[in-house]
Amino acid sequence: MKTFLKWLLLLPLGAIALVFAIANRHSVTVVFDPFGNDIEGLHLTAPLFIVLFLAVMVGVMLGGFGSWLAQGKYRKLARSTKSDLTQLRSETERLRAQFAASRLPAISNNDSSRAA
């Protein structure tokens, strides 16, 4: 069901993107110089759909990077919690072993005194 819904959403979006690309094949020049000095290398001439698709891809990547940075404190907390959990588990095992070792001689002493 999930796969069906994904394709139900992605197929029309892909068709719209294809129609958009076909309709916007003419070349445009994008200038990256804010002062308009026409410096060579600071402009890009490409079809409009490529410019817009690149802009969307860069936006998605920047959004993902920003989200990754914002979640850093939670990743740090998870690492710290995992470290604490590992330490507590080893301490629990050590205490269980120590407790078991302290009870074994007492049980064997009681059994030997009962036998005598």
94's tokens = 């050590």
pLDDT value of position 112: 53
Tokens 């070349």 correspond to what residue?
27
The model scores a pTM over 0.85 = no
Measured distance CA(19)–CA(57) in Å, rounded = 18
For the chain, how many structural domains are there in total? 1
Is residue 36 included in any domain, yes or no?
Answer: yes
Q: What is the pLDDT of residue 92?
A: 96
Q: Do 38 and 52 touch, CB atoms closer than 8 A?
A: no
State the residue range of the domain holding 34. 2-70
Strand duo 43-47 + 27-31: pairing: antiparallel
pLDDT digits (tens, 9 = 90+) for 21-50: 888 889 998 888 888 777 777 888 899 989
32 in a structural domain? yes
Q: Helix %, strand %, coil % for the chain, to 5?
A: 75, 10, 15
| pLDDT tens per residue across span 42-80 | 888 899 989 989 999 999 999 999 999 999 999 999 999
Q: Are 49 and 20 in contact (CB under 8 A)?
A: yes
